[in-house]
């Protein structure tokens, strides 16, 4: 039996050893799903406190429960490590690291490149390397592959290489890791077979595509689709609001059409690691072939403008209701996470609202039941380290206005409605709670 068939057989039986690099929102759920399928999993991360916590059964992210980590530990199959020499003992190595943008909004592949160099130190014949990080079409072949082949081993001949875009949706209780289909692409049939067999053990459906470039393009297409449609409804919201029309009522009614319409909902912009970032990976790559990406860039412009629009609505509301300006106004921001019921603030448009209000001289603070304190690093200097207030209904009387930026379920909206004279609602939260009134201003 050839080496790749032996590995394929081991993977199909759930007997292979898997190393997952990155124990965050993507890597940790993947690791636990792989453990559930019978694989031995090395959970790799350079963050020592995070690894120590995982060994103690503590999850670093709210969307994965401590009990799930503890159960995985109890099996003996889940082994968190900071020692990347352990990669030598793995049959499969999965890369789940961030791919942010630089200050100039260009792709930052430094985490992928660092992971590639760490893998190369122990790369051995027969291993399968899979990249999951969202990136521009060609990254697997043009960036990761040369780093690995600098060892003298050749992809498709000595080791296997594939790409499978992560599709995690943190906080989504319906579409868990297992229920979300996986796209897998490779330049080698043998590599594709092994990668598909691995994901086939942990998810309900695997979709094979012809190349890593196609698989990379799939993820960008998914999130550009969302970015463009969110931008569209955000633009419609600004127009309909000026006409006195409830945008959410329009969308809900349009959703009754059983074909040709898919509902997207407006907000203060877009957040998270994917939607605000992924479109710029494609626009950057498209410049290589001198093709315009006007549609994608226009959507980005609209979404980036929405925090300013929320502040414009706030300024008008303060003037109309309290005869006050933004400067010196006491403003409470409700929710800083990029989506409801999670603690993730990456690329959250609420952060931009916070920063802009500070610049305009507002006396601004925030409450978020899932965010105790903003990070001190990778955060605008004006708001780095800011802490959430402790919820106190009586203290709400001290605020001139509240701005609902993330519609967490664990916020007492009735208290907000009764105690704060001006409420700017970017999420339609008050209407959904039947708390709409003359003090509530949609934004």
Q: List, by residue number, the catalytic residues.
A: 274
Q: Given the DSSP bridges, would you call strands 330-334 and 363-367 parallel, antiparallel or unpaired?
A: parallel
Sheet holding 422-425, edge to edge: 363-367, 330-334, 401-404, 422-425, 440-442
Nearest one of 241, 243, 191 to 212, comparing CA atoms? 191
Distance CA 17, CA 325 (A): 61
In contact, 441 and 402? CB cutoff 8 Å:
no
Distance CA 202, CA 29 (A): 11
Alpha carbon of residue 57 to chain centroid: 24
Distance CA 32, CA 34 (A): 5
Angle at 10 between CA 8 and CA 11, to 5 degrees: 65
Nearest one of 17, 19, 196, 24 to 94, comparing CA atoms? 19
Q: Given the DSSP bridges, would you call strands 128-131 and 206-209 parallel, antiparallel or unpaired?
A: unpaired
Distance CA 220, CA 274 (A): 9
**Structure token pair of residue 335:** 């929710």
- Residue 169 has phi, psi (to 5 degrees) of -130, 85
DSSP-derived secondary structure for 292-361: --HHHHHHHHHHHHHHHHHHHHHHHHHHHHHS--STT-EEEEE--SSSTTS---TT-HHHHHHHHHHHTT
Q: Please tell me what DSSP assigns to residue 37.
A: T
Distance CA 258, CA 243 (A): 27
In contact, 60 and 23? CB cutoff 8 Å:
yes
DSSP-derived secondary structure for 49-83: HHHHHHHTT--SSTTS-HHHHHHHHHHT-EEEES-
Q: Please tell me what DSSP assigns to residue 19.
A: E
Q: Please tell me what DSSP assigns to residue 143.
A: I
Distance CA 406, CA 428 (A): 10
């Amino acid at each position: 039996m050839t080496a790749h068939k032996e590995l394929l057989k081991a993977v199909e039986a759930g007997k292979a050893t898997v190393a997952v690099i990155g124990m965050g929102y993507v890597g940790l759920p993947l690791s636990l799903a792989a453990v559930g399928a019978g694989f031995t999993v090395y959970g790799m991360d350079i963050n020592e406190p995070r690894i120590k916590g995982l060994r103690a059964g503590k999850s670093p992210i709210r969307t994965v429960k401590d009990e799930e980590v503890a159960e995985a530990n109890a099996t003996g199959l889940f082994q968190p490590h900071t020692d990347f020499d352990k990669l030598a003992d793995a049959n499969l190595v999965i890369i789940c690291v961030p791919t942010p943008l630089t200050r100039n909004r260009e792709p930052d592949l430094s985490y992928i490149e660092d992971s590639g160099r760490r893998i190369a130190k122990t790369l051995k014949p027969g291993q399968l390397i899979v990249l999951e990080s969202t990136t521009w079409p060609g990254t697997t072949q043009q960036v990761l592959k040369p780093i690995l082949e600098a060892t003298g081993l050749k992809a498709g001949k000595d080791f296997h290489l594939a790409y499978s875009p992560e599709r995690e949706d943190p906080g989504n209780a319906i579409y868990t890791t297992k229920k979300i289909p996986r796209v897998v692409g490779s330049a080698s049939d043998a590599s594709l077979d092994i990668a598909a067999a691995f994901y086939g053990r942990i998810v309900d459906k695997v979709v094979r595509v012809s190349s890593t470039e196609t698989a990379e393009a799939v993820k960008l297409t998914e999130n550009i689709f969302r970015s463009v449609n969110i931008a569209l409804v955000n633009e419609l919201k600004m127009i309909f609001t000026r006409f006195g029309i409830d945008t959410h009522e329009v969308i809900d009614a349009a959703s009754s059409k059983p074909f040709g319409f898919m509902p997207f909902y407006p907000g203060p912009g877009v957040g998270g690691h994917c939607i605000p970032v992924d479109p710029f990976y494609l626009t950057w790559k498209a410049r290589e072939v001198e093709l315009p990406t006007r549609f994608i860039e226009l959507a980005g412009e609209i979404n980036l403008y929405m925090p300013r629009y929320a502040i414009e609505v706030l300024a008008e509301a303060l003037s109309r209701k309290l005869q006050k300006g933004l400067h010196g106004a006491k403003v409470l921001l409700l929710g800083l996470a990029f989506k409801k019921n999670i603690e993730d603030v990456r690329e959250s448009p609420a952060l931009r609202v916070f920063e802009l209000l500070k610049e305009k001289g507002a006396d601004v603070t925030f409450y978020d039941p899932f965010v105790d304190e903003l990070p001190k690093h990778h955060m605008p200097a004006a708001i780095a380290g800011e802490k959430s207030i402790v919820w106190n209904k009586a203290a709400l009387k001290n605020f001139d206005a509240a701005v609902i930026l993330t519609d967490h379920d664990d916020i007492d909206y009735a208290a907000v409605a009764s105690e704060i004279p001006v409420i700017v609602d970017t999420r339609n939260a008050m209407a959904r709670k039947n708390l709409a009134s003359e003090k509530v201003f949609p934004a």
